[in-house]
């Protein structure tokens, strides 16, 4: 494998976890003044450098991807239930509603249908925050990448916007890993992914929005807008992350999504060393297993070998 591609794929996995940890202490806060942007790992509800549920659910998806040849939604649902039963301290309302039903024995198809029918317009970012392991596993197979990006979302987030956002981000990662610029990857995703008219308009406007126009809430459209804005209006991994985590509101999720994209664009070597060295977290919860930088690199290597085509 080309070493540049390897570095970018590792950058996706590490970058997402780093972005999650950077955003963790700023979650639910207000946007930082532009002259006082936070640029360091800080403690919040968890110690500095700790990742959150965003990364925990991504790790569950990664394990499921590695378990069988193609992604099995039943296996993924079981892994999410195991995580749910460990009583994670932070979980989205929609995700919790689905997993509560799964934990009681309801099939995932019925669970997501019930929860979505109760609030048909709900389109949270809970599947977008975790989707990037699919892009790493499917880095040579765009068709499989698109199908599995949708499938992993359907297990908890079946709204069309959630499915489309996961595909859009992972298609961008695909083209970034293969050497396209952020702007080129964005254009390729616009060509490859069919979005509703209103969603497409939001994505088209995202790079040109002013900082104070970005709401950065838990709505999947806002998360995607912020991530695109951060990636396309900066020229380094560090600056992309600094810009988005200082937007306030759902900072850990936007940090994770932007980190995956920026990691694909700039690679593992471009991620600041102090951020990488601070990264830590327990997974599975209550297992005593502490993940650090080398563990994420090893996971990336396992994922990228999943469907690797001999060259």
Q: What is the pLDDT of residue 198?
A: 97
What is the average pLDDT across 37-42?
Answer: 97
**Non-local CB neighbours of 110 within 8 Å, separated by 6+ positions:** 101
Per-residue pLDDT reduced to its tens digit, 234-252 = 999 999 999 999 999 999 9
Average pLDDT, integer, range 3-16 = 98
In whole angstroms, how far apart are CA 225 and each of 17, 58, 228, 236? 20, 21, 5, 18
What are the extents of the domains in the chain?
3-304
Whether the Cβ atoms of residue 149 and residue 173 lie closer than 8 Å to each other:
no
Phi-psi region of 267 (alpha: psi -120 to 50; beta: other; left: phi over 0): left
pTM, to two decimals: 0.98
Report the alpha-carbon distance of residue 177 to residue 11 in Å, rounded: 9
Q: What is the pLDDT of residue 1?
A: 82
Rounded to whole angstroms, the Cα distance separating 301 from 170 reads 17
- The per-residue pLDDT for 79 is 98
Mean pLDDT of the chain: 97
Do the Cβ atoms of 210 and 244 come closer than 8 Å?
no
Mean pLDDT of 211-234: 97
Q: What is the pLDDT of residues 145-160, one digit of tens each?
A: 999 999 999 999 999 9
CA dist 175 and 71 (Å) reads 22
Does domain 3-304 sit in CATH 3.20.20.80? Answer: no
> Looking at residues 52-72, what average pLDDT do you find?
97
Asked whether residue 15 carries a pLDDT value surpassing 70, the answer given is yes
- Over the stretch 201-219, which tens digit does the pLDDT of each residue have? 999 999 999 999 999 999 9
Question: Per-residue pLDDT tens for 115-130?
Answer: 999 999 999 999 999 9
Determine the pLDDT at residue 148: 98
Residue 90 confidence (pLDDT): 87
**DSSP string of 81-145?**
HHHHHT--S---HHHHHHHHHHHTT--HHHHHHHHHHHSTT--BSTTTTT-HHHHHHTTT-HHHH
Angle between helices 251-266 and 220-232 (to 10 degrees): 40
What is the structure's pLDDT at 309? Answer: 75
Region 11-36: what's the mean pLDDT?
97
> By the 8 A CB rule, do 267 and 4 touch?
yes
d(C-alpha 300, C-alpha 294), whole Å: 10
Token pair 């590490």 is found at 14
What is the number of alpha carbons within 13 Å of residue 43 lying toward its C-beta?
2
Residue 311 has pLDDT above 70, yes or no: no
Q: Which residues contact 75 (CB under 8 A, 6 or more apart)?
A: 64, 67, 68
Position 310 scores a pLDDT of 53
Rounded CA-CA distance 23/35 in Å is 18
Residue 28, exposed/middle/buried by CB under 10 A (0-12, 13-18, 19+)? Answer: exposed
Alpha helices in 132-196, H assignment, sequence order:
132-137, 142-154, 160-177, 182-192
The rounded distance, in Å, linking the Cα atoms of 292 and 186 is: 31
């Amino acid at each position: 494998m080309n070493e540049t591609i390897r570095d970018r794929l590792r950058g996706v996995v590490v970058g997402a976890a780093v972005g999650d940890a950077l955003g963790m202490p700023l979650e639910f806060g207000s946007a930082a003044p532009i002259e006082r942007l936070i640029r360091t790992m800080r403690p919040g509800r968890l110690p500095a450098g700790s990742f959150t549920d965003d990364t925990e659910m991504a790790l569950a998806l990664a394990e499921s991807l590695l378990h069988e040849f193609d992604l099995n939604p039943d296996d993924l649902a079981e892994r999410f239930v195991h995580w749910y039963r460990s009583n994670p301290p932070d979980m989205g309302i929609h995700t919790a509603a689905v997993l509560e039903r799964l934990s009681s024995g309801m099939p995932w198809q019925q669970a997501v249908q019930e929860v979505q029918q109760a609030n048909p317009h709900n389109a949270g970012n809970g599947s977008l925050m975790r989707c990037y392991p699919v892009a790493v596993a499917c880095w040579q197979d765009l068709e499989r990448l698109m199908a599995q990006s949708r499938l992993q979302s359907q297990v908890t987030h079946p709204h069309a916007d959630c499915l489309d956002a996961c595909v859009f981000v992972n298609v961008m990662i695909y083209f970034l890993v293969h050497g396209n610029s952020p702007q080129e990857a964005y254009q390729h995703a616009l060509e490859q992914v069919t979005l509703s008219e209103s969603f497409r308009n939001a994505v088209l406007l995202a790079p040109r929005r002013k900082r104070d126009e970005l709401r950065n809430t838990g709505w999947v459209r806002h998360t995607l807008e912020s991530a695109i804005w951060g990636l396309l209006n900066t020229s380094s991994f560090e600056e992309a992350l600094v810009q988005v985590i200082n937007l306030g509101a759902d900072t850990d999720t936007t940090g994770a999504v932007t980190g995956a994209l920026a990691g694909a664009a700039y690679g593992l070597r471009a991620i600041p060393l102090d951020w990488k060295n601070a990264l830590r977290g327990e997974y599975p919860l209550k297992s005593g297993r502490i993940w650090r930088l080398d563990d994420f690199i090893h996971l990336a290597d396992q994922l990228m070998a999943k469907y690797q085509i001999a060259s």
